[in-house]
Structure 1
Amino acid sequence: MQVATATAPTPTPTPTDTFLLRLPPSVRHRIYLFLGLASWNCYPNVFGLNGRRDPWIQFPSCWLGLLRSCRAIYADAAAFFYSANRFIVWYSNPGSLEPLRALTPWSIASLTSLKVVLNEASCHSPGVLLSYPLYCCEEDKVPDCPHPALLSECEVHHEGLHRPPLLSPAPNSNHDNLAAAQAMLSEWHSTAAYLSSHISPGCLEFSLVCDIDSQHGQSLDMAKYATEPIHLLPPLKDCHVRLGQTPDSRLQQVAHDAVSQARRITTPYYKPSSSALTTLITLPRELRLRILEHTDLVAPWKEVSWGRIDGTYMIFRTRCGEKDGFYTPPDIHHGCQFRQCWYNDEFAPPIGCFCRRRHATFSSSCKCWAPPGPDLFLICRTLCRDAQYVFFSQNNFIIHDYKSWIPIWVPGPEEVQQSGPRDASTGYYPYERLAASLFFREVIPTHCLSFLRSVEIVYPPFQLECWPLVHHPAIQDWRATVEWLRDKINAPGLTLQLIMADLSEYTEDTHPVDRSAMTKPQGKTILASYTAIAVPLKHLAAGDDGLAGFYTDVAWPWRWTKRVRNRMLHEDGDEWLASKAKANKDLIERYVMGDRYESLYANGKTEPAQSIWRDVYYNKHGYVVVK
């Protein structure tokens, strides 16, 4: 088993009579592996230089005698040790960076991975992925955070590690935060000056974390001061810089400039042209649109999710099946590189969270898709409209009535109780408006509604009492919204899907909804809610200028009852169950499309391919694995 080592120079041992040093380097390295200087599994261990060690990392002690045997052996073993592992130093008080300044020049020259944490407010990276969830550190406001119950594990693994952003005012304290920050950065400057004299060019992967309060008036100056030492370092193999717990365009630009300087990446110089013919705005619109299609305006998998709770555009996030040994078709696996950049391998220690979607950071490791920013929308009115057209026409928009990052999760009892007075005739749906109504009325600019080409509306498997019935205010508002939409959308160019999500084998045991005892009247109540939501859509599909297509996939309410399960096990099978769901599907589609229903499947036509989230939650592995 080989261990990746640096290309940094190693010292030439002077004593020629030392038996160990007369062995070939490959044999010596194998001995070092047996002694524990590095890991056998090709993944580097992670060590804290200033004494802080995570509980899953056992600092080896059997080889300390080897290092003390003689100077030549120490130099050779230390070079192997520092090149085969990752090292982190945390700043907690003055003098915390002294261990870096105590390293010998040969040790520094051998370093291949170093992370300096000056101030870290969240997302403390674990030693291995399985140690605890990476959705951590008071991040329940982050769109890709799972159920809040998982966040409690942060209290176990990160006790005492949470620190406020640099320069943020401490409650009930007269402490001069600015002076303390300047003292910390002064120590960092002197430490970086020492490191710069000995780092091997092109060998070190360097990471810097300094979370700064972006609301402070001097945050930008402080960020520039924190990254100045990076300019002193020799060219780095790779560099990752994080300057804020939450995204901030100004701090992100500072991080970008620092990384570019560290890797000696220069922006090509283009001589200004006096001719306006070279500008994007003067190109034919067809060319402008094709160019814009190669930007973040088109999401991976061409799917953009929006949910009531998160309230922002995002792509569905899940673990990649390929990394866990499951085959994923190339057209699907291609999109895996654009999400969850912190997840690299099941057992490899991550470098930390340098995700631009979550932090003010810049890193070559992050390609995560984020909603397009103002750069493309504020250039001029013409390009703004072109960008809007590409964004809304090239993506399938998936509207989740509750959470988009956990599509089948449902409101808890406390949310239902806060919904106000309801009765059985309306249902206890906890909101005054459906999420789809909010999306069409308040999220998308009205003039962009005609750009939409594909929309999917998703309802989770609500508790029985939470489904809205025909007299519920949300249904009344939905009817008004659909009527309002009729002359705003380009109906002949729009395909609409209505999904009533079901439980799955993968989530049945953990989902709060239990349908094992569903009675016939209760199931009919759910079907009545399906109808109440679908009936207004007939207004969009009517006539020759109606919707291009309308498809639905509705859960059969009695799917999980013991009676149905026993029947499937002993009498009928999956085909019988599928026929029950298909009967409801056909009924709704026929009603909405009317006389045009047959055209949906005529001449070999099929309904659109299912979205990524549906495969994940109805696949037993729960990964992006398309069958």
Structure 2
Amino acid sequence: MHDRIHTIETIHSKNTPPSLLSLPPVVRCQIYRDAGLICDSDVDFNGRLNAGSWPPSATPSTDFQISYNLLLTCRTVYTEASCILYSTNTFFIRYNDARSLEMLRNLTADSIALLTQLTVHLNVASCEKGQVCCKAHPGKSSLCLKHDKPLGTSSPAIISEWQNTARYILARIEPFRLRMYFVCDVDGLETAKYLVEPFRSTPTLADCSIRLSEQPDPLLQDLAQEVATQAMGYQHRSSLSQTQSAFRFLDLPRELRLQILEYTDLVTPLCEVEWNPESNFYLHYYRTGCGGSFEGYLDCPVDFHRACQFRNCWQADPWHVGCFCRRYHAAFSSKCHCWSPPASLFLICKKLREDAQAVFFARNRFIIVPPRGCTSPAESTPARLGISIFLTDIIPSQALPLLRSMEIVFPPFYDDYLRPHETAYQDWLQTIEHVSGLLNLPMLTLRVYMADYILHGEPVADFRKTLTKEQGMTIVKMYARTLRPLSKLRENGLGQFFARLAWPFAHTRFGLRNPTLAREQSAYLRRLIERLVMGDDYDSTVVQTKESGNNDSQWLQEAYADPMSS
């Protein structure tokens, strides 16, 4: 009897198809993926799924229901599916979507331990870089997140909820596993200290980026850096032992100090800095990519284009992560190496300020540009030219001899600009008189551009289309009237001067039909003005052969670039 029962059981087991749980775990995991389990995606904890595009879907994806059903199948499937779900996806949450962080607190300890990337936008007071800003383009604001006001201590409920949520999450993570990105634009240092407090006691994060203000702020910047580096396990300089003796940098010989400072942000990646009265010192990159055989600048090898590693770090992350660039915000990110004016090096002491000035002004080309851009027509002459402000109000008199390369860009204008009776022209003459005895003219390279109106990919607006001969001569006379006073610099030793002048008739029907003639006339104007300033024997083409490399600045390369390549 016992043998018959055993035989029946054996036959029954052979006829029963294998179950899911009888398959190897690696096969089951592939089945979960094929069935629709969310993986390798950007997942919003408030119910939206996105694979990296903008804007995100406004309704929950059907993939959520599939994933939810898999998690409810059985304990084994739950364990394996949740491991894929929480370890392969990047998660983010915006407080403004549901006015709550409850979804984060609903995570189990095991789920939190599996997380590899989490982004929290507690309070965002500006559009992210790369998006169409609703402030600058109101008609396109549908692509923009709703701006919050900077968070202050008047919102204790939000601060308290964040602190409780952060402590819950950070107490359950695996060390060196989670990359954490936190954005909360605040109204002051006091609020920021409350918000970053949970990060001070966290296990070590694999990466940590913190943003505390939509605008750069030195105090908030230092706080973000201190807390983020501490959360990643690095010892911040403020926590170093006071008994540890400081390195006496100023005891080094000056030649060695200057060489060391050349490896700081005093020398920009492109060795050029743009300046205008509204934006102060900044860098201009005309390409979105590096222009090489790479998809963008992010994968460009250092030995190909060294400057690529120092630009637009915000383009490295998807839209939902946000911008942590120190150029635009009070933020810290280990990925951000973007250039910003190294103001701190000028504020330490007098001796170091002199060293910093020697490196900053001697190693970079300074390009003084119009506030509205180099190729946008000027509506009228300003009260003062940007170059006059730069040389008399911005650069200290003792630093003027340090300048080695300077470029002045005059904007396009319709018929006349900088007339003799205008205050700006008289101020221009006084500026030349002032700096002629202060600049180290034999060592200075001076470039002047009378820019043209250039608009890629769109019809040229009504700019000098119907110019008469008299109007054209008025423009040429303006060139001569404005630049002839620079001959005083030649008298005091200026040896390198280059001009580039827009031909007034380039946008007329005649000029558009004869592009070769337009180039020839521009070259003729260049020679005419350069000799007006430097003398009849001057030939800039001979002087220019002494310089190596591409002498065109970024704005000029952008103005004449193929629009499809930038």
1:611 aligns with 2:562: no
- Kept in 1, the 8 Å contact 2:266–2:360? The answer is yes
Residue of structure 2 equivalent to 1:305: 274
Q: 1:163 aligns with which of 140, 148, 157?
A: 148
Classify 1:507/1:61 alpha carbon distance in 2 versus 1 (closer, same or farther; 3 Å): closer
Q: 1:484 aligns with which of 434, 452, 459?
A: 434
What amino acid is aligned across from residue 332 of structure 2 in structure 1? F
- Kept in 2, the 8 Å contact 1:515–1:557? The answer is yes
* Residues 374-413 of structure 1: pairs in structure 2 closer than 5 A: 375-403=344-372, 406-411=373-378
What amino acid is aligned across from residue 446 of structure 1 in structure 2? S
Offset, 1:333: 3.1
What amino acid is aligned across from residue 211 of structure 1 in structure 2? D
Residue of structure 1 equivalent to 2:511: 564
Q: Secondary structure at the match of 2:182?
A: strand
Residue of structure 2 equivalent to 1:288: 257
1:45 aligns with 2:39: no
- Kept in 2, the 8 Å contact 1:119–1:166? The answer is yes
Name the CA distance, whole Å, in 2 between partners of 1:603 and 1:410.
29
Residue of structure 2 equivalent to 1:194: 168
Classify 1:377/1:596 alpha carbon distance in 2 versus 1 (closer, same or farther; 3 Å): farther
Offset, 1:72: 2.5
Deviation sequence 1:439-471 (CA, Å, 0-9, x none): 111111111111110000012223x14622344
Q: Count the aligned residue pairs.
A: 536
Offset, 1:437: 1.1
Classify 1:488/1:33 alpha carbon distance in 2 versus 1 (closer, same or farther; 3 Å): farther
- Kept in 2, the 8 Å contact 1:123–1:352? The answer is no
1:540 aligns with 2:489: yes
Residue of structure 1 equivalent to 2:203: 234
Residue of structure 1 equivalent to 2:12: none
Name the CA distance, whole Å, in 2 between partners of 1:240 and 1:21.
44
Offset, 1:89: 2.0
- Kept in 2, the 8 Å contact 1:616–1:622? The answer is no
Name the CA distance, whole Å, in 1 between partners of 2:311 and 2:128.
18
Name the CA distance, whole Å, in 2 between partners of 1:30 and 1:580.
71
Offset, 1:559: 1.9
* Residues 70-89 of structure 1: pairs in structure 2 closer than 5 A: 70-89=74-93
What amino acid is aligned across from residue 56 of structure 1 in structure 2? P
- Kept in 2, the 8 Å contact 1:430–1:466? The answer is no
- Kept in 2, the 8 Å contact 1:21–1:73? The answer is no
Q: 1:204 aligns with which of 178, 201, 213?
A: 178
Residue of structure 2 equivalent to 1:314: 282
Residue of structure 1 equivalent to 2:14: none
What amino acid is aligned across from residue 147 of structure 2 in structure 1? H
1:439 aligns with 2:390: yes
Q: Which has the greater radius of gyration?
A: 2
Q: Secondary structure at the match of 1:114?
A: strand
Residue of structure 1 equivalent to 2:468: 519
Residue of structure 1 equivalent to 2:445: 495
- Kept in 2, the 8 Å contact 1:116–1:208? The answer is yes
Deviation sequence 1:498-525 (CA, Å, 0-9, x none): 012223462653x655333333333222
Name the CA distance, whole Å, in 2 between partners of 1:438 and 1:553.
22
Q: Which moved more, 1:312-321 or 1:383-392?
A: 312-321
1:552 aligns with 2:499: yes
Deviation sequence 1:76-124 (CA, Å, 0-9, x none): 2232222232222223499711111111233222212111222221134
Q: Secondary structure at the match of 2:393?
A: helix
* Residues 250-399 of structure 1: pairs in structure 2 closer than 5 A: 250-267=219-236, 279-310=248-279, 312-318=280-286, 319-322=288-291, 324=295, 333-344=305-316, 348-349=318-319, 351-373=321-343, 375-399=344-368
Offset, 1:620: 1.3
Name the CA distance, whole Å, in 2 between partners of 1:239 and 1:560.
53
Residue of structure 2 equivalent to 1:583: 524
Offset, 1:329: 9.8
What amino acid is aligned across from residue 116 of structure 1 in structure 2? V
Classify 1:602/1:617 alpha carbon distance in 2 versus 1 (closer, same or farther; 3 Å): closer
* Residues 54-203 of structure 1: pairs in structure 2 closer than 5 A: 55-57=55-57, 59-62=60-63, 63=66, 64-92=68-96, 96-124=100-128, 132-133=131-132, 136=133, 138=135, 148=136, 150=137, 152-153=139-140, 155-158=141-144, 161-167=146-152, 177-178=153-154, 180-181=155-156, 183-203=157-177
1:506 aligns with 2:491: no
Classify 1:564/1:598 alpha carbon distance in 2 versus 1 (closer, same or farther; 3 Å): closer
Name the CA distance, whole Å, in 2 between partners of 1:490 and 1:21.
84
Classify 1:341/1:281 alpha carbon distance in 2 versus 1 (closer, same or farther; 3 Å): same
Q: Which moved more, 1:100-109 or 1:321-330?
A: 321-330
Offset, 1:549: 0.3
TM-score normalised to structure 2 length: 0.85
Classify 1:471/1:197 alpha carbon distance in 2 versus 1 (closer, same or farther; 3 Å): closer
TM-score normalised to structure 1 length: 0.78
- Kept in 1, the 8 Å contact 2:117–2:178? The answer is yes
Name the CA distance, whole Å, in 2 between partners of 1:304 and 1:368.
13
Offset, 1:23: 5.0
Residue of structure 1 equivalent to 2:562: 620
Offset, 1:604: 4.5
Offset, 1:28: 3.3
Name the CA distance, whole Å, in 2 between partners of 1:239 and 1:21.
41
Name the CA distance, whole Å, in 2 between partners of 1:34 and 1:407.
56
Name the CA distance, whole Å, in 2 between partners of 1:296 and 1:287.
17
Q: Secondary structure at the match of 2:62?
A: coil
Name the CA distance, whole Å, in 1 between partners of 2:358 and 2:180.
40
- Kept in 2, the 8 Å contact 1:83–1:112? The answer is yes
What amino acid is aligned across from residue 597 of structure 1 in structure 2? Y
Classify 1:468/1:584 alpha carbon distance in 2 versus 1 (closer, same or farther; 3 Å): same
What amino acid is aligned across from residue 363 of structure 1 in structure 2? S
- Kept in 2, the 8 Å contact 1:402–1:410? The answer is no
Deviation sequence 1:570-623 (CA, Å, 0-9, x none): xxxx4x442221111111111111155147616953597111221122111376
- Kept in 1, the 8 Å contact 2:42–2:49? The answer is no
What amino acid is aligned across from residue 407 of structure 2 in structure 1? E
| Structure 2: segments with no counterpart, 5+ residues | 1-16
Classify 1:456/1:123 alpha carbon distance in 2 versus 1 (closer, same or farther; 3 Å): same
Q: Secondary structure at the match of 1:300?
A: coil
- Kept in 1, the 8 Å contact 2:113–2:173? The answer is yes
Q: Secondary structure at the match of 1:551?
A: strand
